[in-house]
Amino acid sequence: MMTMSTAQTNAIRETRSFRSALRLLLLLVCGFCLAIDLSGWFQSWPGNRTQSTNPLAVTMGDARRLFANQFFVKADAYFHSGMYPTIYDNRQSFTTPHIAEDSGAMKGKNTGDETAFLGPPRNWIDAFGRQFYPSVHTHLSDGGADGQEGEGTVREILPWLALSTELDPKRVEVYTVTAYWLRRMNKIDESEQELREGLKENPGDPQLLFDLGRLFSEARRNPGNARNVWEAGLRNWESLPDKESDKNRFVAEEIFGALAHLEETAHNTNQATALLERLKAVSTTPQSVQGWIERLKGQNIP
Amino acid sequence: MKNIWALSAVVLKESIRRKDFYVVFVVTAIVTLVMGSVTLFHDDQIVRYLKEICLLLIWISSLVIAITMAARQIPTERESRTIYPLLAKPITRTEVLLGKFLGCWLAMAVALVAFYVFFGLVAMTKEHHWPLANYFQAVWLHWVMLGVVVAMSLLGSLLFSAVSANVTISLVAVTFILLIGRHLDHIAVQFGEPARSGLMGLFFILPHLEFFDVRDLVIHNWPSIHWLVCLKATAYGTVYGAFFLLAACLLFRRRSLN
């Protein structure tokens, strides 16, 4: 009786194992079939992040753009060797990052004293605490923290700018700021590469074309290429739907001014005057442009 | 004093035997070295971002190690019931607590030396100079700050029933002080009474741990702090550390061990 029972139990166990194996095989086949069916849809799905080669884009998606400005501001904080206003301080003199204002990538909106945003110490804890963090206004381009560092230390802002462009490739000003400071460090090839990468992400952007022209004009000493690029920038600016916005008018001012200067240098006074007339129409300081026009006309009188 | 030293030596040996420090050290080293291997714009002299990342990891690691180590000292002795034979010896409860504190604090000194030597080597490979005075001040102030944190965590281990609760609350409190502490008076003026007075009171009562955070000065190569200022900060940290320790001793003497 015992032997029969053991044999039956073994048979039942074997049957159960066989059934379990069959179920597993069935699940495997189902999974495989679903994978084949879904893979085609997944490859064509617009939300598929795996098409990007950027690891930040894969992991964070479009949310990464939220952090791009943080790292741009971080680069500006490095430019000031860590002496930078927090959200609790008076930020009027830091509305536009100084690295962008100095490079001409953004129109400055800063007001107030940039050296005294901390104000007088509020109490003894505040006064004592200021000894433990940077509390003197300096620029890396003017000697840095101890006033004796070379201009090459501006390189320290570059990692944060690179990270900012990685996070948001559509932020044009970061490319132009990076390119400007690379040019200041005599890294002309890297500067051009940066602008071309910006143009790849933002095709035909007038600001990037203006900066590329500036690079050709100032660093490569190639006014012909500079003129071509600036004229292309001007054409693109004219086709912009929001060309009258402050930002785009500022770009137009820069391009008109650069082209006028180029024509003036080449003694093409008539072309220069025509460009200055157009500059006057978009400029926020038409009086100074008029002064330039009169000076040019004065030079032209034999 | 002999008892305190003996107990602190036990705590120090136990912390060396545990794997916590080695794991965080290896993680810090790997992250720093991977970040350091990146060359941007063909410039291999860019270093400050690396110093910032490395120092941030050192601060996070040291705070986590200090708080978790201090938080489990008394509860572990209680749970394993080793506190009874320990107190059966000619040693007072105050000596036990001070021994635990000293052991944890010394263990943190060992950890900090290892961390900062690594940091110094990484910085030197790119900067080619070693500002010893700045590094010494950074390590010293960091260690004094950890003394306050260890004392705070020991006090927490007597106030809260679970180790996890103490660790979480201590970490949140320290993070709050480091991030917001300096600005509490600014925030206070935006509120009406009585919140304003409450926040101002908190501002003056809280231990300002941010005094001991000189990372920005080290990262951006600012000149070292005046030594007298460093001494004053040490005295400030000592006062707060002593306050937390005294409170912990008073509580431990009255607390039932069951």
Residue A121 in any domain: the answer is no
pTM, rounded to two decimals: 0.83
Residue A119 in any domain: the answer is no
pLDDT tens by residue, A153-173? 888 999 999 999 988 888 888
Count of structural domains within chain A: 2
Contact B185 A190 (CB under 8 A): no
| Higher local confidence (pLDDT), B113 or A66 | B113
Residue A50 in any domain: the answer is yes
The phi-psi region of residue A144 (left if phi > 0; otherwise alpha if psi is between -120 and 50; otherwise beta) is: left
Residue range of the domain that includes A16: 10-61
The pLDDT mean for chain B works out to 90
**Least-confidence region, from A142-151, A174-183, B181-190, B219-228:** A142-151
CATH value at residue A287: 1.25.40
- Say what the pLDDT of residue A61 is: 74
Contact A144 B220 (CB under 8 A): yes
- Say what the pLDDT of residue A118 is: 79
The answer to whether A97 and A76 are in contact (CB under 8 A) is: yes
- Say what the pLDDT of residue B2 is: 82
Residue A2 has pLDDT above 60, yes or no: no
- Say what the pLDDT of residue B258 is: 67
Residue A218 in any domain: the answer is yes
The pLDDT confidence band at residue B254, using thresholds 50, 70 and 90, is confident
pLDDT tens by residue, B55-98? 999 999 999 999 999 999 989 888 888 888 888 888 888 899 99
Among candidate residues B244, B77, B87, B62, the one with its CA nearest the CA of residue B159: B244
The pLDDT mean for chain A works out to 85
- Which residues make Cβ contacts (< 8 Å) with residue A43, sequence separation at least 6? none
Q: Choosing among B32, B45, B49, which should be mutated to test the A contact, i.e. which has the most A CBs within 10 A?
A: B49
Give the single-character DSSP code of B210. G
Query: What is the arithmetic mean of pLDDT over B95-116?
Result: 93
Shortest Cα distance, chain A CAs vs residue B239, angstroms:
15
Tokens of B163: 């180790």
Residue A142 in any domain: the answer is no
- Say what the pLDDT of residue A148 is: 79
Tokens of A102: 């100095």
| Higher local confidence (pLDDT), A302 or B83 | B83
- Say what the pLDDT of residue A200 is: 92
**Least-confidence region, from A56-65, A167-176, B6-15, B16-25:** A56-65
Shortest Cα distance, chain A CAs vs residue B257, angstroms:
40
| Higher local confidence (pLDDT), B57 or B20 | B57
Tokens of B110: 């060992």
Which residues of B have a CB under 8 Å from any CB of A? Answer: 38, 40-43, 45-49, 141, 182-183, 185-187, 203-204, 208, 210-214, 216-217, 219-223, 225-226, 229, 232-233
- Say what the pLDDT of residue B8 is: 86
Residue A264 in any domain: the answer is yes
The residue whose two tokens read 């900090």 is B112
Contact B48 A156 (CB under 8 A): yes
Shortest Cα distance, chain B CAs vs residue A185, angstroms:
11
Alpha carbon dihedral B93, B94, B100, B103, in 10-degree steps, equals -140
H or E segment and range at residue B111: helix B93-127
CB atoms within 10 A of CB B166: 26
Q: What is the DSSP string of chain A?
A: -HHHHHHHHHHHHHHHHHHHHHHHHHHHHHHHHHHHHHHHHHHH-TT-GGG---HHHHHHGGGGHHHHHHHHHHHHHHHTTT----TTS--GGGSS-HHHHHHTSS-----S-TT-TT-S-SSHHHHHHGGGS--S---GGGTTTTT---GGGGGGGHHHHHHHHHH-TT-HHHHHHHHHHHHHTT-HHHHHHHHHHHHHHSTT-HHHHHHHHHIIIIIS--HHHHHHHHHHHHHHHHT-TTTTSHHHHHHHHHHHHHHHHHHHHTT-HHHHHHHHHHHHHH-S-HHHHHHHHHHHHHHH--
Residue A138 in any domain: the answer is no
**Considering only alpha carbons, which residue of chain A is nearest residue B225?**
A131
User: What is residue B191's three-state secondary structure?
Assistant: coil
Residues of B in contact with A145 (CB under 8 A): 220-223
Q: Pick from A82, A152, A159: which is nearest to B220 by CB? A: A82
What ipTM goes with this model? Answer: 0.86
- Say what the pLDDT of residue B247 is: 94
Q: CA A17, A22, A27, A28 torsion: positive or negative?
A: positive
A-B Cβ pairs (cutoff 8 Å, strict): 88
Q: Pick from B185, B216, B221: which is nearest to A133 by CB? A: B216
Residues of A in contact with B56 (CB under 8 A): none
pLDDT tens by residue, A30-76? 999 999 988 888 888 877 776 667 777 777 777 788 888 889 999 99
CB atoms within 10 A of CB A294: 11
Residue B127 has pLDDT above 60, yes or no: yes
Query: What is the arithmetic mean of pLDDT over B125-142?
Result: 90
Residue B236 has pLDDT above 90, yes or no: yes
**Considering only alpha carbons, which residue of chain A is nearest residue B42?**
A190
The distance of Cα A302 from the centroid of its chain, to the nearest Å, equals: 48
Give the single-character DSSP code of B39. -
Residue A263 has pLDDT above 90, yes or no: no
Among candidate residues B44, B102, B36, B109, the one with its CA nearest the CA of residue B73: B102
